[in-house]
Amino acid sequence: MGWTERLRTLVVGCLIAAAPAGCGPNCEDGGVLESAYLDGRAQALDLNDAEFARGRADGLRLSYDDGFAEGESLGYGEGYDAGFLGPYGYSGGYADGYAAGHYSGSVDPSACQAGASDGFADGESDGWKRGYDDAYGDGYDLGYDDGWYDGSGSCGFRSGRTGEAAGGGEEVDPEDLEFCERAGFNNHVNESAYAEGLAAGKEENPDYVAGYDDGYLAAFDRGVLDGEYEGYAIGHAEGFDAGYVDGYDATYSACYDEAYADGYNAGYDAGADEGYETGYYDGYDVGYYDGSAECDN
């Protein structure tokens, strides 16, 4: 079993046992396992030093042109971001686009047409329901009185509805030795040693620094202009879309509200007529039945 598989087995076993302090070999036993751990740490520190030195040497070998190319690339990118996110980039385009879109949406003929149509329909429906409910009771009361009168006079010989209504010396497992050595290495190795050395070498390289500065300055302004141009265009397009929706919705709502009132009034009258008639018939039938019952007394 390799050290990677062994490490995985130990971790899983610790999780199952829920006792982390007692899992795996003790690499701080003051004996051979701790010695193995320290050997691993020493290997990592030596590697760190070697990688840093290799990176620094590579940085010191770079030329003016190398610095110019890297500075140009970074300068353009940072300039582009500055222009894109600046007042003349995305945000400026969005504001202008929103205003234009809002106007276009507000004058879209379909906005008022749809709002008026929906508003009248909803108002008519709500008005009909309210009118029906309001008039039903009046019709019922009148119908009941008429029905009772007719019922009590006919003594039941009349139909209910006529006409139209209104550690120690123990043997050590070789895999434990490997595990502790690897742990010492992994806990101290610096994966960024080369990059840190390279950065240090670049800073100590006057030719590279001069090229970097010249390249950065040459590209930054160009990046700003491109970022502003593209940022404005993207912002304008997105702002126009958002503004159009808001403008459309504003007009839709205004026409909806106006038409709703008209629809409500029309629906109320129709609902009241039907509610009154239905209420009258229902009241008449109940009143007739009650009135007929008087004949039995």
d(CA 78, CA 202): 20
pLDDT attached to residue 172: 74
pLDDT grade for 54, boundaries at 50, 70 and 90: very high
In this structure, the number of other CB atoms found within 10 A of the CB of residue 164 comes to 7
What number is the average pLDDT over the span 268-275? 92
Q: Is the pLDDT of residue 160 over 90?
A: no
Q: Which sign does the torsion angle of CA 132, 133, 134, 136 carry?
A: positive
What residue segments make up the domains of the chain, in order of their start?
1-29, 31-166+177-296
Which is nearest to 249 in space by CA: 106, 51, 110?
106
d(CA 106, CA 252): 8
Q: What is the DSSP code string of 202-252? A: HHT-HHHHHHHHHHHHHHHHHHHHHHHHHHHHHHHHHHHHHHHHHHHHHHH
Q: Is the pLDDT of residue 149 over 70?
A: yes
C-alpha of 231 from chain center:
22
**pTM for the full predicted model:** 0.62
What number is the average pLDDT over the span 75-88? 96
d(CA 282, CA 147): 10
For 46, residues 6+ apart whose C-beta sits below 8 A from its C-beta are none
Q: Is the pLDDT of residue 185 over 80?
A: yes
Mean pLDDT computed over every residue of the chain: 85
Tell me how many helices (H) and strands (E) the chain has: 8, 0
pLDDT attached to residue 243: 97
pLDDT attached to residue 156: 45
d(CA 61, CA 55): 10
pLDDT, tens digit, for every residue of 193-242?
989 998 999 999 999 999 999 999 989 999 999 999 999 999 999 999 99
Contact call for residues 199 and 53 (beta carbons, < 8 A): no
Q: Is the pLDDT of residue 159 over 70?
A: no
For 242, residues 6+ apart whose C-beta sits below 8 A from its C-beta are 94, 98, 101
Q: Which amino acid is at 268?
A: Y
